[in-house]
Amino acid sequence: MSRRTLAVVSAGLSQPSSTRLLADQLAAATRDELARRGVEAELRPIDLRDHAHDVVNHLLTGFPPPALRDALDTLAAADGVVAVTPIFNASYSGLFKSFFDLFDATTLADRPVLIAATGGTARHSLALEHAVRPMFAYLRAVVVPTAVFAATEDWSQAAADGALRSRIVRAAGELADQVARRAPAAPPDPFALTAGFDELLAGRDPS
C-alpha cells in the first residue's frame, strides 16, 4: 500500500469549533476514500488558532518561530490539503488568509486542495466560490469541484447530518482521486532560502 500525507488546516477560533469538526470529518472521509484506492493516508492537522500570534509576527519580521515553521513545512510537504475557514463578513477569516499569505505562488502549485467553510446560515456559502476558491486559484492549487459549506442547521449532535454528509463524501472522493493519481510530494529542502538576500537584509520574507 502506498502512502500519502494530508495537511488539514482549520481556522476556527473557538473551542470546541465547528470549523475543526468539519475539517476532521472531511479528513477522515478522505482517508477512507484513499484506503479504498489502496493508499494509506497520514493526517496532519494544523489548527491556526494555536499559531495566530506567530502568523502575525512572521508577517512583520519574516522569520517564523519553530512551531509555525513546522506547520509551514507540513503544508509544503503534504500530498493534499483540506482547508476549512469560518466565514466572517461574507469572506474567509483574516487568520486563514494571513496564514496562506506566508506562502509564495509556487508552494501549492498543482497541489490538490479541498475547500470548506462554516457559517451561521447557508446565505454565506457563496463565499467559498467568490473568495476561497479564487485565492487557491491564484496559488495555482488544484481545487476539487465540490466545496463543502456547513451551516448551523447542518449539524445534528456533533455529526454531519443528511445532505452535509453526502457533500463530505463526494468532496472527499474527489480529493482522494487527485491525491492517489499523483506521485508523493517531494519533502521541502530544509536549507533552501525562502527569500533573496536583498529581502532578508530589508527584513522582508515573502514566504
In a domain? residue 145: yes
In a domain? residue 207: no
If one counts the domains in the chain, the total is 1
Query: Would the pLDDT of 139 be above 70?
Result: yes
Query: What pLDDT score was predicted for residue 68?
Result: 96
In a domain? residue 39: yes
CB atoms within 10 A of CB 45: 17
CA distance 205 to 25: 34
The full DSSP string for 51-117 is: GHHHHHHHHHHS---HHHHHHHHHHHH-SEEEEEEEEETTEE-HHHHHHHTTS-TTTTTT-EEEEEE
117 with 11: CB under 8 angstroms? no
pLDDT in tens, 23-58: 999 999 999 999 999 999 999 999 999 999 999 999
- The range of the structural domain enclosing residue 79 comes to 3-202
Unique residue bearing C-alpha cell 456559502:
125
CATH for 62: 3.40.50.360
Cα–Cα distances in angstroms (integers) from residue 83 to residues 31, 196, 202, in the given order: 15, 29, 32
In a domain? residue 156: yes
Overall average pLDDT of the 125-140 stretch: 94
In a domain? residue 66: yes
pLDDT in tens, 145-199: 999 999 888 876 555 558 899 999 999 999 999 999 998 877 665 555 454 445 4
Angle CA 123–162–36, to nearest 5: 115
